[in-house]
Amino acid sequence: MAWTVTYDLEEFRAAAGGFLRAHPARNTTLLTVVSSLTVAGSGRYGDEPPVYGWWTGEGQGRAEGAFLCTPPYPPLLSALSGEAARALARTLARDGELKITGVNAGRETAEAFATAWTGLTGAASSVDQTHLLYRLDALTPPDPAPPGRPRTATTADRDLLITWYEGFARETDALRGDVTAQVDDKLGHDGITVWELDGRPVACAGISRTIAGMARVALVYTPPELRGRGYAGAATAAVSGAARAAGVTEVLLFTDLGNPTSNALYQRLGYRPVEEHLVLSFSAAEGADLAAERTVSTAGPAVPEQGHPS
């Protein structure tokens, strides 16, 4: 049993792609980040090169877990056994050049990794964000629907969408990095639906590329002065319905668990809870001595020295 770590995206896709695609709902974030990196290149989320890894079970010869890290974001982990989570913490802790600021995973895996990490490094762990993953069951559009109609966003909407995404980033802290690149990425695959009233966009809802029959709704936004009129719900219903009509079998979305308004809205539209995800932050280690840990032999290669995403 071992972790294999690489900078090579194609090597990672070849080794772990089958595992990720076999569980598209649970691995939705990993799949969509890999898709974006494949399309936009390794600089999609930051200047440092992404790092990837997969866990091979005893005698199986195939991936049974995976992670990726796009600095400066914390590592994204698939569901892992306790053994695999602890082994990953040891693997990452052994590399003194690798800065791990937190972890992003399903609750059980995030907590198992954090327990191992804090024990190894002396760092403290705290909850940064708690998200709830939803899956669309039977779509129930708003009734009555607000006035207006949906349409696919085009490059003519680009400047407005950049402004809206910047607003989303300020309000939620859930959108980081180059906002313009993220807008362009979604426009590139017709991934934004706007709700339009009298020729004027009043809300938007984005969706990821379809991967293994899965797509994830994200970046639902209405400007503050237009809220409370049902536009966001209508845009979400429209983009969700379009995905279903296109043959997407797993239509997903994440919410902030602490936001009762959004959670109630998506449940009214037909989304049902799947599992909680945590984004945990780690403080700097205080006097932890990793020297002994670094001398212990490893079942797989250590993370490369040159460094290591919601």
Give me the average pLDDT of each 10-residue run along the chain (310 residues). Answer: 93 97 96 92 79 86 93 94 96 80 97 97 95 97 96 98 94 76 93 98 97 96 96 98 97 94 96 97 62 29 23
What pLDDT does residue 159 have? 98
What pLDDT does residue 285 have? 54
What pLDDT does residue 308 have? 24
What pLDDT does residue 292 have? 33
What pLDDT does residue 97 have? 60
**Rounded to the nearest 5°, which phi and psi values hold at 72?**
-95, 15
What pLDDT does residue 94 have? 87
Neighbours of 60 (CB within 10 A): 10
What pLDDT does residue 288 have? 42
What pLDDT does residue 52 have? 96
What pLDDT does residue 263 have? 95
Measured in residues, the chain has a length of 310
What pLDDT does residue 301 have? 22
Token pair recorded at residue 28:
């939705």
What pLDDT does residue 41 have? 81
